[in-house]
């Protein structure tokens, strides 16, 4: 946000160039400290929330839509495998219908606390990691069950599938990764 104008920016990692894609949410200048953004990189849509309003911004042309949500969620996360938006709403995990703003409860009363708005969804098996004030809890988005927990760390990155390229034949495309999870995958597109 720059003054009262919210700008969606693009950063070119090769050249370092920064450009403005669009402005959005005109007149909204109150945003949560974190956890209020999610990106559907394949559908090319950025989601952000302010109160009970969900803004959907097209990453290619900057057009914007918005819907009113059933409630004011704490944070949102995008499930790239099932192409769904999820949220922590009070102590519940909910899925959000991005067309209507309606919530569907996945797990009720299972999130006792959140910390630093740190949460993410593992892309290959719909595990929802939510950092609490005491531990990070792992939930199944299939049935909402608690899969386990571990002592919270300062920040965590999503485990699971790593997706490279898009029909690239470049010999110099590479990635280095060290994940202990034996079910992790590397997926090459194209």
Query: What pLDDT does residue 170 have?
Result: 53
Q: Give yes or no for a contact between 169 and 144, defined as CB atoms under 8 angstroms apart.
A: no
69-92 residue pLDDT tens: 999 998 899 998 889 999 999 899
166-171 long-range contacts, CB within 8 A, separation 24+: 166/190
Reading phi first (left if > 0) and then psi (alpha if -120 to 50, else beta), residue 93 is in: beta
118-134 residue pLDDT tens: 788 887 778 888 888 77
pTM of the predicted protein model: 0.74
């Amino acid at each position: 946000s720059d003054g009262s104008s919210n700008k969606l920016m693009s950063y070119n990692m090769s050249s370092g160039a920064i450009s403005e894609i669009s402005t959005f949410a005109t007149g909204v200048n109150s945003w949560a400290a974190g956890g209020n953004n999610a990106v559907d990189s394949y559908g090319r849509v950025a989601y952000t929330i302010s109160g009970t309003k969900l803004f959907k911004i097209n990453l290619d042309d900057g057009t914007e839509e918005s819907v009113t949500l059933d409630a004011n969620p704490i944070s949102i996360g995008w499930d790239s495998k099932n192409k769904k938006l999820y949220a922590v709403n009070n102590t519940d995990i909910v899925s959000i219908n991005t067309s209507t703003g309606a919530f569907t409860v996945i797990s009720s009363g299972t999130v006792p606390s959140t910390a630093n708005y740190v949460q993410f969804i593992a892309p290959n098996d719909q595990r929802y990691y939510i950092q609490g004030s005491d531990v990070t809890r792992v939930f199944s988005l299939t049935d909402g069950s608690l899969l386990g927990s571990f002592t919270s760390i300062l920040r965590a990155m999503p485990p699971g599938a790593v997706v490279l390229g898009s029909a690239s034949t470049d010999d110099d495309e590479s990635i280095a990764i060290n994940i202990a999870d034996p079910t992790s995958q590397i997926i090459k597109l194209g």
